[in-house]
Amino acid sequence: MSLHTMKRFDEELNELKGHILSMGGLVERAIENAVKSMLEQDEALAVKTVERDKVINALEVQCDEMTRSILVRRQPAAGDLRFIMGIIKLVTDLERMGDLAAGISKGMLRTLDHPPRNFSTLDVMGEKVVRQVNRALDAFSRGDTDLAMIVIEKDAGIDVLYKRMYREMLTYMMEDPREITSSIILSNVAKNLERIAAHATNIAEMVIYMERGHDIRHVDHEAAARLLAGED
């Protein structure tokens, strides 16, 4: 491969990375807006969040096309191939996160006739999930495996918040049958946030695969840390 060809290849990879980060930024905002629309019962913001999911889907298609083009024309190997394979999975995670954010906003629109009175830990959980997504995207942007490991480690805390919120929603439903519909919707919102955090963890795992070549998707956190430290 000539120097000119190598330079152009690097430019294409950087361009692809830029598109991924743009998509990630839209997803991050969608999650923030979805949670905010529920907490503030903001119908206009919820509608806008649902509509903007189309932009995220369009970026997914664009990134897929760029990835396929690079694979066919460049036939990358080693680290570059890992990067491309990671991108393929990463784009899928981002698109799914956008769908889940839109689902939260759609849930908000279903509460308009009977707004929830108890938001429980939604604001705390929403903030922590957005932070997880932000960390995962930063880890990808910088190739930071240490930050990626932090994302993986903190996912357990999101699971705890989800279970707490689910239990609280059950309590509200038992105490006041009028809260059943809104509590079910909020339980679904909590589940969507938990799944978004899981996708952020997937991205963190892909960052480690891209940078170090280790597939830690089915390895517990301590074993993954030892693997990255070269102990296993």
pLDDT at residue 157 greater than cutoff 90: yes
Looking at residue 78, its amino acid is A
Question: Residue 169: which CATH number?
Answer: 1.20.58.220
Read off the pLDDT of each residue in 8-24 and give the average, rounded to a whole number: 88
Give the model's pLDDT for residue 220.
64
| Residue 96 banded pLDDT, cuts 50, 70, 90 | very high
Rounded to whole angstroms, the Cα distance separating 6 from 190 reads: 46
Residue 94, token pair as written in the block: 């981002």
pLDDT at residue 179 greater than cutoff 60: yes
More confident of the two residues 177 and 107: 107
> Picking from 20-29, 115-124, 143-152, which range would have the lowest pLDDT averaged per residue?
115-124
Question: Please, which contacts does 154-159 make with residues 24 or more away whose CB atoms are closer than 8 Å?
Answer: 154/128, 155/197, 155/198, 155/200, 155/201, 157/128, 158/125, 158/128, 158/129, 158/132, 158/193, 158/194, 158/197, 159/194
Question: Which residue, 161, 50, 179, is CA-closest to 108?
Answer: 50
Rounded to whole angstroms, the Cα distance separating 88 from 129 reads: 23
Q: Total structural domains in the chain?
A: 1
CB 49 within 8 A of CB 108: no
| Residue 69 banded pLDDT, cuts 50, 70, 90 | confident
pLDDT at residue 118 greater than cutoff 60: yes
Tens of pLDDT, residue by residue over 17-65, are 999 999 999 999 999 999 999 999 999 999 999 999 999 999 999 999 9
**Owning domain of residue 223:** 3-228
Average pLDDT, the chain: 89
